[in-house]
Structure formats: C-alpha cells, structure tokens
Amino acid sequence: MAAPFIDELPQAAAIAAYISMGTEIQTLPLLRHILRSDRRVLVPRLGSGMEIGWSEIADVEELDQLTDMPRRASGGLRPQEPTDTVTLPPDALAEAACILVPAFAIDNRGIRLGRGAGWYDQALIHRDPQSTLLGICWPWEQREEPLPAHDHDVPVHGILTTDSFGLL
C-alpha cells in the first residue's frame, strides 16, 4: 500500500526499515520492493542493550540471507539481522529520507506505542528532521483516542496497515 509513496522518493534515497518478527506485519515484501526500486535500505543493528547501529542491505539476495539472532539473556526474541555487513553508527539514520517504525498502536496525532524499551526513541534522535516517519501497525491498532505521550516521543507522519496507507 505504501509502494506509490516509496516510488515517489528520490532514486538515491535511503529508507530505514525494521525487519518484522513475531506477530508484527511482515516487512520483507516491502523491503524487497524498496530494493528492487534501486533505493538503499538501512536496517537496525541492535547490539547489546540499547546500543544503536544500522546496516545497509544492498540487494534482495542479501535480504534473503538474513540470520536469526540469538535470544537475549532474558529470553526475548531479536529480529533477523545481516551478519556480513559493517555496523554503521547511529547517525547513519540521518541519510534516510523515510523511516518505517513498528507500532502496537498509533493515534490520530501520530503518537505511537512501541515495545516499550525506547530503542526507536533513542534512534530517532539521529534522523534528518525532514525525513518522513511512517508507523506500521495492524488496522485495529489505529486509534481514535489519544495515546499517552512523553516529551521524547516523535510523532509519525503517516500510518501503514495491511488495509491502508495515509499521511496524517
């Protein structure tokens, strides 16, 4: 649903996106579309704890070779990550014209609830202020009522679900 929006971004644009896991909407089809449209894809490298890093996925073949990461000491899952790429610093996010972020809920103001660890809140400090933030959630996670917000929350500019895409 977001393909037309993505296709309007400059050819040289980098797009930062996450690799879905668990019950999240599958992002791999969208990542394949982005790569086939000759745009750069940056994906998170979680490191340990709250470390922030990024890796560039160069092509669909590299996307297909993502590696399952070991569980955290707490037993929590980790998303797949590329293993044969350089980990870029946090400020690599500033290269992204569009940033796709996961959400468990997004309200009409663009406030989103994530997993609660604050990883994206920390990462978004390094974004280009002109970049477009798109939250991805299931249709039933789009909320009319305001969600709780904190000073460090960065509202998204649009919402992508399995049924719709719209800018706020």
Q: What backbone phi and psi angles, to 5 degrees, belong to 11? A: -55, -40
Report how far residue 149's alpha carbon sits from residue 50's, in angstroms, rounded to the nearest whole number: 21
> Is 138 known to sit in a ligand binding site?
no
> Is 39 known to sit in a ligand binding site?
no
Q: Tell me whether residue 86 is exposed, middle or buried, using C-beta atoms within 10 angstroms of its C-beta: 0 to 12, 13 to 18, 19 or more.
A: exposed
> Is 141 known to sit in a ligand binding site?
no
> Is 18 known to sit in a ligand binding site?
no
> Is 72 known to sit in a ligand binding site?
no
> Is 56 known to sit in a ligand binding site?
no
Report how far residue 133's alpha carbon sits from residue 106's, in angstroms, rounded to the nearest whole number: 12
> Is 19 known to sit in a ligand binding site?
yes
Residues 6+ apart with CB under 8 A from 39: 6, 9, 11, 12, 13, 14, 15
For tokens 């990462």, the residue is: 123
Give the three-class secondary structure for 95: helix
> Is 58 known to sit in a ligand binding site?
no
Residues 6+ apart with CB under 8 A from 145: 107
> Is 145 known to sit in a ligand binding site?
no
Residue numbers in the known binding site for ATP are 112-120
Residue numbers in the known binding site are 19, 24, 112-120
Residue numbers in the known binding site for substrate are 19, 24
